[in-house]
Amino acid sequence: MAGVLVFGDTVGGALAPASLEMAVAGAALAQALNEPLTGALIGDDLAAVAAEFNGGFATLHLIEGKHLRPYTARSAIAAAKAAIDAAAPSVVLFPHTLETREWVPRLAAMLDTGLVMDCTALNAEGSDLVVSKPVYGGGVTAQYVVRGNIRLVTVRTGVFEARAGAATGAVNKIAAVEPAAGRVTLIDEAKAAAASGVRLKDAKVIVSGGRGLGGPANWHYIEETAAAIGGAVGCSRPVADSGWVSSAHQVGLSGTSVKPDLYIAVGISGAVQHLAGISNSSTVVAINLDGDADMFTRANYGVVGDYKDVLPGFIERAKQLRG
Ligand SMILES: Cc1cc2nc3c(=O)[nH]c(=O)nc-3n(C[C@H](O)[C@H](O)[C@H](O)COP(=O)(O)OP(=O)(O)OC[C@H]3O[C@@H](n4cnc5c(N)ncnc54)[C@H](O)[C@@H]3O)c2cc1C
C-alpha cells in the first residue's frame, strides 16, 4: 500500500469545487510522504468532469455506471472499493459532504481500517498521518494519528484553496459492478427547490441573520441587504431550526463552513458553533445591540445598534453606489 488517493465529487453532473481542494490537500500530503498521488471520480458519464479534475494525478480512476446516479450509499461504497483496489493507496481523502458522511464510515468498517472525519489539517510525521479537526463545538482543535493499512480521512470543504495542478498522467476506467439489492431501494428522486441567489459555499459576500432579527417577518432586511451588495444569504442555527429560512442557509459547525471576503453578521451573538463556520472569512462585520456580544471578538468592524436603524441606510447607500 503506497500513495495518496483523492476522491473528487460531482454536483448536477459538474465537478464540485471541493474536488480541486482535495487535490491540493492530497498533493501536499503525497509530497510529504514521498508517495504518488492518484485521483478517483464516481458517477455516470464522467468524461467531461474528468477533464476538469486536473489535480496533478499520476492516474485518475473513473468508476462509471448508470446505477451510480442518483446516489445510494451501497453503490458508492462498492465503487470506492473498486478504486481503492485499483490504486492500493496508504491514504484516501474524501470531501466531507452529506453523502460521504453517510457512506465513508461504512466503507471504513468494511475495510476494517481507521477513519477521521471533517479534518481541517493533514500532516505527515515520519510515516504517521496526523490530522486535526475542531471538537467540542469548535472550541478545541484535536489531533489524531490515523491507524490502518489504508487510512481514510474526510476533509472539510472550504479550508484548502482550490487550484488546478498538472494534467492527469493516465486515465483508468473501471466499470462499476452494481451491488446486490440492499435493504434500501431508490424508487424516486425529488429535487429540492434550488436556493435562490449565490451559493453560500462559493459566495464572496454573505449577509447572515440571527435570532436578533426577532422573527420571519423581519427577514426581508437580510435579503434586501444581500441583494443590495450582491451577496448570499446566511443564517444562524435557531433561524433555520425555527423555519424562518431553509437549513441550506445555516452557517456554522452543523451547517456550512464559509470562506467569503466579507461576512456581515446581523443579530448573531457569536456562539463558538457559529464562529467555527466563519473562521476562514477575510473580513467580518457585526451588527448587534449588545456591545459585549461574542461576535465582536471575531469582527474586524462592528456597529453596536439596532439593525432596523442600521440596515435601511446601508441598503440605500449600497444601491446608490452600484447605480
Ligand atoms: C452541537 C451544536 C451545534 C451547533 N451548530 C450551530 C451552527 O452550525 N450554527 C449556529 O449558528 N449555531 C449552532 N449551534 C447553536 C449555537 O450554540 C447558538 O445557540 C446559536 O448560534 C445562537 O444563534 P443566534 O446568535 O442567532 O441567537 P442568540 O444567541 O439568541 O443571539 C441573538 C443576538 O441578536 C442580538 N440582537 C437582538 N436584537 C437585536 C437587534 N434589534 N439588532 C441587533 N442585534 C440584536 C442579541 O444581542 C444577541 O447577541 C449549535 C449548537 C450545538 C450544541
Please give the average per-residue pLDDT across 230-253, as a whole number: 95
Q: Does residue 273 line the site of ligand 1, with CB under 6 A?
A: yes
- The pTM score is 0.74
Beta strands in the chain (DSSP E): 4-7, 10-11, 14-15, 37-43, 59-64, 91-95, 115-119, 121-125, 128-135, 140-145, 151-155, 170-175, 205-209, 232-235, 262-266, 283-288, 301-304
More confident residue, 195 or 28: 28
Residue 228: its pLDDT value, please? Answer: 96
Residue 197: its pLDDT value, please? Answer: 54
Closest protein CA for atom 47 of ligand 1:
290
Ligand 1 centroid, distance to 275 Cα (angstroms):
10
Closest CA to 71 of 42, 106, 47, 41: 42
Residue-averaged pLDDT of the chain? 93
The total number of structural domains in the chain stands at 2
Residue 194: its pLDDT value, please? Answer: 53
Q: Does residue 43 line the site of ligand 1, with CB under 6 A?
A: no
Q: Which of 175, 208, 236 is where one domain is finished?
A: 175
- Contact, 253 vs 276, CB < 8 A? yes
The answer, yes or no, to whether residue 301 has pLDDT greater than 60, is yes
- Same structural domain, 122 and 217: no
Question: Which CATH number characterizes residue 273's domain?
Answer: 3.40.50.1220
- The answer to whether position 193 is within a domain reads no
DSSP state of 251: B
- The answer to whether position 166 is within a domain reads yes
- Same structural domain, 130 and 164: yes
Q: Does residue 244 line the site of ligand 1, with CB under 6 A?
A: no
Q: pLDDT class for 254, splitting at 50, 70, 90?
A: confident
* 183 CB burial (10 A radius; 0-12, 13-18, 19+): exposed
The answer, yes or no, to whether residue 121 has pLDDT greater than 90, is yes
Residue 16: its pLDDT value, please? Answer: 93
Three-state SS sequence of 51-88: HHCCCCCCEEEEEECHHHCCCCHHHHHHHHHHHHHHHC
Ligand 1 centroid, distance to 269 Cα (angstroms):
5
Q: Which atom of ligand 1 is nearest to the CA of 255?
A: 8
- Angstrom distance (rounded) from CA 38 to CA 53: 11
Closest protein CA for atom 32 of ligand 1:
212
More confident residue, 175 or 6: 6
User: Considering the chain, what percentage of its residues have pLDDT values greater than 90?
Assistant: 78
Q: pLDDT class for 198, splitting at 50, 70, 90?
A: low
Q: Does residue 210 line the site of ligand 1, with CB under 6 A?
A: yes
- Same structural domain, 145 and 264: no
Closest protein CA for atom 26 of ligand 1:
210
- Same structural domain, 116 and 230: no
- Same structural domain, 150 and 210: no
- The answer to whether position 254 is within a domain reads yes
More confident residue, 186 or 125: 125
Q: Which of 175, 208, 241 is where one domain is finished?
A: 175
- Angstrom distance (rounded) from CA 15 to CA 53: 7
The answer, yes or no, to whether residue 195 has pLDDT greater than 70, is no
- Same structural domain, 159 and 205: no
- Same structural domain, 55 and 149: yes
- The answer to whether position 220 is within a domain reads yes
Ligand 1 centroid, distance to 222 Cα (angstroms):
15
- The answer to whether position 58 is within a domain reads yes
- Same structural domain, 38 and 157: yes
Q: Which atom of ligand 1 is nearest to the CA of 268?
A: 25
Tell me the best of 211, 218, 266 to mutate to test the pocket of ligand 1, counting ligand atoms within 8 Å of each CB and taking the most. Answer: 211
Ligand 1 centroid, distance to 236 Cα (angstroms):
6
Question: Which CATH number characterizes residue 159's domain?
Answer: 3.40.50.620
The answer, yes or no, to whether residue 138 has pLDDT greater than 80, is no
- The answer to whether position 75 is within a domain reads yes
Strand partners, 20: none
Domain assignment of residue 30, given as a range: 4-175
Closest CA to 103 of 136, 132, 68: 68
- The answer to whether position 186 is within a domain reads no
Ligand 1 centroid, distance to 209 Cα (angstroms):
9
Ligand 1 centroid, distance to 240 Cα (angstroms):
11
Closest CA to 85 of 70, 107, 67: 107
- Same structural domain, 155 and 21: yes
* 73-87 and 98-111 helices, crossing angle to 10°: 60
Q: Which of 140, 175, 210 is where one domain is finished?
A: 175
Q: Does residue 241 line the site of ligand 1, with CB under 6 A?
A: no
Q: Does residue 288 line the site of ligand 1, with CB under 6 A?
A: yes
pLDDT in tens, 27-73: 999 999 999 999 999 999 999 999 999 999 999 999 999 889 888 99
Residue 289: its pLDDT value, please? Answer: 98
- Same structural domain, 253 and 117: no
Ligand 1 centroid, distance to 265 Cα (angstroms):
10
- Same structural domain, 69 and 102: yes
- Same structural domain, 168 and 222: no
Please give the average per-residue pLDDT across 170-194, as a whole number: 81
- The answer to whether position 140 is within a domain reads yes
Q: For strand 91-95 and strand 151-155, is the pairing parallel, antiparallel, or unpaired?
A: parallel
